Amino acid sequence: MNQPNDAHELIAKAGLAGIFTNSTKTPYCSGHPVDSIPDVDMSPQDRDALNKTLQEYVGSLNWLSTQTRPDLSTITNMIAQYNNKCSPGHIDSAKYAIRYLIDTADLGIKFSSRSTSELESFIKFPLDPDTLKALTDSNWGLQDQSVPHPDVPPIFLDLFKSCSIAGFVIWLGGPVDWAAKCQTYTARSSAEAEIGSVDQCTKQLQYITSILLDLCILHEISNGPITIYNDNAAVQWSHNMTIKGLRYIQIRENAVRENVQKSFIQVEHVAGKRNASDMFMKEDKDPAHYIDCRDALQATPPTTKILNIDKTINEPSHSLVTPSVHHDSVFLARCAKGVLMDRRSLQAFSSV
C-alpha cells in the first residue's frame, strides 16, 4: 500500500518537481534541527502567509505519515508545532522533507502471511506474522543535543522543546499502526520518557485489539500477552510496583503495570541498535541507520514499472497484496482507519 500520487502532488505543490536529489538522504535537514531554527521578526501579514504555506505542507505530510509513510512521522510532528509561529527556516525544513519524497514516492507498507525477513534480520529474532507485536522507543530531552560552540551565544528554548518524543510501531504481518508524538510533560529521566512511550503503545494496543476482535480477525488473545519490545529500564519497571523515587511520574502510567498483571502485554528488552522504532526518535540521524530502520518497516512495490491497470485486474500475480484471507482482513482493518488507496492499489486488491 503506497500513495505515490499524493507524494508527487505535494512535490509539485512545493515547486520541487524535476530537481535533483539523493535517495540516501533522510527527511531531516542535517545539521539544522527544527527546534533550533531562530524566530524572525516580521509583520503579521507576512507571518500569516508563511503560516498558511506551512500548514498546507504539514497537512499533506501528515496525511502521508499517518497512512503509509511511518518514516515521515517524526519530522512532520516537529514541524507541525510551528504551524502558527512559522519562520522561513521552518518552510525550508518542510521543503527538505518533501525533497526526500522525490526518490521515495513509491515507498509504502506491506502485509504478508509469510515471515518478514527484512525486519527479522534487523531485530535479530523471528516474528510470528499472525501475532501482534510492538516496538517502542523515545529520546530524552532536547532534539538538538549537539555541544554548543563556546563562541556562540546561548539559545533560550521554549519549554515544550525540552519534552521527549515517544514512538512505537505495532506489527501484525505488517505495520498496523505507528506514531511519533512529542510528550506533554518534561521527563526527568530517560526511563520516564521510555515509560511514557510504553504507556502510549499500550493504550493503542487496546484500541487496535478491540478493532481486530470486532472484525473477527482475532477471536481472542490466545497466544498469551502481547509483547512490547523496549531498550530501556522501563522493561524492569513494568514488573515492579511504584517506588518512592518515581512517585512524580504521572499516575496514568501505572496502566502499563496493570496490563502486565492482567497478562494483556509483556514488556521485553531489545538492543537499542536493533530497535526499528528508533527511526521515530532523533532528528539528526546517521543516514545509514535511519535507512536500515526504515527499510525494516516499509517496502517498495514488487515492480517499479507502471502496471497496466486493466491487465492487473485479470492477473492476480501482479497484486500488491498477498492472497491471504487473514491478512486481507488486516488490510481492510487498516483501510477502515482511513487509509487512502490509489486506483491501482484498489483495483489490484479487488482481484485477489
Per-residue pLDDT band for 49 (boundaries 50, 70, 90) equals very high
pLDDT for 245 beyond 70: no
Confidence of residue 243 (pLDDT cuts 50, 70, 90): low
* Tens digits of residue pLDDT in 184-227: 887 777 788 888 889 899 999 999 998 988 888 776 665 678 99
* pLDDT tops 50 at residue 346: no
Query: Is the pLDDT at 260 greater than 80, yes or no?
Result: yes
| Percent of the chain residues past pLDDT 90, beyond the cut | 31
Residue 154 has a pLDDT of: 64
Confidence of residue 72 (pLDDT cuts 50, 70, 90): very high
The type of residue at 290 is Y
State the average pLDDT over residues 166-173. Answer: 92
Supply the pLDDT for residue 23.
Answer: 67
pLDDT at 317: 34
pLDDT of residue 344: 40
What's the pLDDT at 176?
93
* Highest mean pLDDT, choosing among 234-243, 271-280, 302-311: 271-280
Q: Answer yes or no: is pLDDT of 321 > 60.
A: no
Average pLDDT of the chain to the nearest whole number: 78
pLDDT at position 206, please? 92
Q: pLDDT band for position 275 (50/70/90)? A: confident
Q: What is the 3-state secondary structure (H, E, C) of the chain?
A: CECHHHHHHHHHHCCCCCCCCCCCCCCCCCCCCHHHCCCCCCCHHHHHHHHHHHHHHHHHHHHHHHHCCHHHHHHHHHHHCCCCCCCHHHHHHHHHHHHHHHCCCCCECCCCCCCCHHHHHHHCCCCCCCCCEEEEEECCCCCCCCCCCCCCCCCCCCHHHHCCEEEEEEECCCEEEEEEEECCCCCCCHHHHHHHHHHHHHHHHHHHHHHHHHCCCCCCCCCCCEEEEECCCHHHHCCCCCCHHHCCCCHHHHHHHHHHHCCCEEEEECCHHHCHHHHHCCCCCCHHHHHHHHHHHCECCCCCCCCCHHHHHHCHHHCCCCCCHHHHHHHHHHHHCCCCCCHHHHHHHHCC
Residues 108-128 have pLDDT tens digits of 999 988 888 888 888 888 888
pLDDT at 12 over 60: yes
Residue 345, pLDDT score = 42
Q: Which of 41-50, 133-142, 323-332 has the highest mean pLDDT?
A: 41-50
Domains of the chain and any CATH numbers: 1-107 (no CATH), 117-297 (3.30.420.10)
* pLDDT of res. 249: 65
pTM above 0.85, yes or no: no
For residues 281-303, give the mean pLDDT.
81
- Specify the pLDDT at position 313: 35
Q: How confident is the model at residue 100 (pLDDT cuts 50, 70, 90)?
A: very high
Our CA angle for 214, 220, 226, nearest 5°, is 105
Q: Which residue has the higher pLDDT, 14 or 261?
A: 14
**For position 220, what pLDDT does the model report?**
62
